[in-house]
């Protein structure tokens, strides 16, 4: 399935149905009077967060969604049927913005969450509503109010426990394939990964969701390479695993390049917990490993882990650190949700 993380769609709620003009015509009832029913309410535009989706590809080809208008009222004081709602089924992590692309309308973060984006129009009144002591046979009815319409932007931000960042060919896809059942494309040329990918890692007695983000290069914040478009997918991550290709000469420069782009992107990425790992150590001598590890530790002021995705060495300690960071984040989210519920 093709990955699509942004789409623009048109939505329109249903108009209310018109009321009915009707009079009773029954034997032995001399003055029957009005009995026109009200029109039905128009259908709503509803957003629903569902499981099993991780792309917005369904909204690339179908871009117009119109709810059904309400049915007209009928005689015998019968109210028209309500128009059918249109439900947009969206993956977890989808944000809905107004047409300006900046005003956030809804944020779907929980499976089963439903948001009524546009309400349908109210049904018009039947002539029974206009009966009075001075107007015993009204021929007036309400037309029903129109529905609402607008263009909206759908933007998907994958929700993962940890995100993999680094320059192209840092070994992110190989790492993801080594620790999960995900099968991303792996090759020896830059920008092998063109779309974010998710993998579920089982570590000890728990699980961890990793997001593989396409590589950054210098100038990505200004649009170079793939730019920073996909960095939105790690905004919700609890931690970042920064992989550095150990086979390149300037590992410190590679580290600083990615850190500069994270800072330029903003949205709190530079402040997230970061775990630094020197990758591809299976291709290095022990002397080279120690020299590059020490240089990275000095530049990052963090503990630098030495790993090899293809050889499978050093992966478990890194995964345990990521899981610990994810557990802490889940605990904070649960405490925040509890505090909101109390207030």
Number of domains in the chain: 2
Average pLDDT over residues 289-301: 92
Binding region for GTP: 166-173, 191-195, 212-215, 279-282, 308-310
Q: pTM for the full model?
A: 0.70
The string of pLDDT tens digits covering residues 259-291 is: 888 888 777 778 888 899 999 998 889 999 999
Give the residue among 335, 5, 319 at the shortest CA–CA distance from 161. Answer: 319
For residue range 64-115, what is the model confidence (pLDDT) as tens digits?
999 999 999 999 899 999 999 999 999 888 999 999 988 999 999 888 999 9
| Residue 29 and residue 47 share a domain | yes
H/E segment holding residue 206 = strand 206-212
Question: What are the CA-CA distances from residue 28 to residues 21, 24, 36, 335 (Å)?
Answer: 22, 11, 20, 70
95 and 48 assigned to the same domain = yes
d(CA 195, CA 173): 11
- pLDDT of the residue at 290: 93
| Residue 27 Cα to chain centre, angstroms | 62
Edge-first strand order for the sheet with 94-97 is: 64-66, 6-12, 149-156, 94-97, 104-107
Distance CA 183, CA 206 (A): 21
Domain span at residue 99 reads 1-156
Q: H helices of 62-218, where?
A: 172-179
The structure tokens listed for 246 are: 């150990």
Instruction: Report residue 5 CA to chain centroid gap.
Output: 8
pLDDT of 229: 59
DSSP string, 155-197: EE----SEEEE-STTSSHHHHHHHHSS------SSTT---S-E
pLDDT, tens only, 229-266: 566 667 777 788 899 999 988 999 989 988 888 888 77
Of 156, 180, 211, the residue at which a domain comes to its end is 156
Instruction: Note the pLDDT of residue 306.
Output: 92
Position 220 pLDDT exceeds 50: no
Residue 43's pLDDT is what?
A: 96
Q: Which residues contact 50 (CB under 8 A, 6 or more apart)?
A: 89, 90, 91, 111, 112
Binding residues for Mg(2+): 173, 193
Domain final residue pick, 104, 124, 156: 156
Tokens of 298: 């000095």
Report d(CA 121, CA 220) in Å as an integer.
Answer: 46
- Could you tell me if 222 and 307 lie in one domain? yes
Residues above pLDDT 70, as percent of the chain: 85
The average pLDDT across 296-314 equals 90
Annotated binding residues, written as ranges, equal 166-173, 191-195, 212-215, 279-282, 308-310
Pair 116, 177 in one domain = no
Better pLDDT: 277 or 191: 277
Cα separation values, 191 from 77, 234, 339, Å: 66, 18, 43
Q: Can you give the pLDDT at residue 252?
A: 92
Q: What average pLDDT does the segment 20-41 reach? A: 87
pLDDT tens for 121-170 read: 999 999 999 998 888 889 999 999 999 999 999 988 776 778 888 888 88
How far apart are the C-alpha atoms of 194 and 168, rounded to whole Å? 10
Mean pLDDT of 35-61: 90
Measured CA to CA, the distance from residue 147 to residue 144 in angstroms comes to: 9
144 exposure class (CB count in 10 Å sphere: 0-12, 13-18, 19+):
buried
Q: CATH no. for residue 233?
A: 3.40.50.300
Q: Higher pLDDT residue, 107 or 217?
A: 107
- Quick one: 210 and 236 in the same domain? yes
| pLDDT tier at 3, thresholds 50, 70, 90 | low
Tell whether 329 and 180 lie within a shared domain: yes
* pLDDT at residue 270, as a whole number: 81
CATH code for the domain of 13: 2.70.210.12
What element of type H or E holds 12?
A: strand 6-12
The whole-number pLDDT of residue 225 equals 45
* Contacts of 319 by beta carbon, 8 Å cutoff, 6+ apart: 179, 201, 203, 208
Q: Phi and psi (nearest 5°) for 253?
A: -65, -40
- pLDDT of residue 50 exceeding 70: yes
Using 50, 70 and 90 to split pLDDT, how confident is the model at 226?
very low
Q: Are 96 and 173 in the same domain? A: no
- Among 156, 185, 205, the domain-final residue is 156
């Amino acid at each position: 399935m093709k990955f699509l993380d942004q789409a623009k769609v048109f939505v329109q709620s249903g108009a209310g149905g018109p009321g009915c003009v009707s009079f009773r015509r029954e034997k032995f009832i001399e003055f029957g009077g009005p009995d026109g029913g009200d029109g039905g309410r128009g259908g709503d535009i509803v957003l629903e967060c569902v499981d099993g989706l991780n792309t917005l590809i369904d909204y690339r080809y179908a871009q117009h969604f119109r709810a059904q208008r309400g049915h007209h009222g009928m005689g015998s004081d019968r109210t028209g049927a309500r128009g059918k709602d249109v439900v947009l089924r969206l993956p977890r992590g989808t944000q809905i913005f107004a047409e300006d692309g900046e005003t956030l309308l809804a944020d779907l973060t929980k499976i089963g969450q439903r948001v009524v984006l546009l309400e349908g129009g109210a049904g018009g009144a039947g002539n029974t509503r206009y009966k009075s002591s001075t107007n015993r046979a009204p021929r007036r009815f309400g037309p029903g109010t129109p529905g609402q319409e607008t263009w909206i932007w759908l933007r998907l931000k994958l929700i993962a426990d940890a995100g993999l960042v680094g320059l192209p060919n840092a070994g992110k896809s190989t790492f993801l394939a080594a620790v999960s059942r995900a099968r991303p494309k792996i090759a020896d040329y830059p920008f092998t990964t063109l779309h974010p990918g998710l993998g579920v890692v089982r570590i000890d007695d728990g699980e961890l969701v990793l997001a593989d983000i396409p590589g950054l290069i210098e100038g990505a914040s200004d649009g170079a390479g793939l730019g920073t478009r996909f960095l939105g997918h790690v905004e919700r991550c609890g931690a970042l695993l920064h992989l550095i290709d150990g086979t390149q000469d300037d590992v410190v420069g590679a580290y600083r390049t990615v850190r500069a782009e994270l800072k330029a992107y903003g949205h709190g990425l530079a402040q997230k917990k970061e775990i630094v790992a020197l990758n591809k150590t299976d291709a290095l001598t022990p002397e080279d490993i120690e020299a590059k590890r020490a240089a990275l530790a000095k530049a990052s002021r963090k503990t630098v882990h030495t790993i090899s995705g293809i050889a499978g060495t050093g992966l478990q300690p890194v995964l345990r650190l990521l899981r610990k960071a994810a557990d802490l984040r889940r605990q904070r989210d649960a405490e925040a949700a509890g505090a909101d519920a109390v207030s």
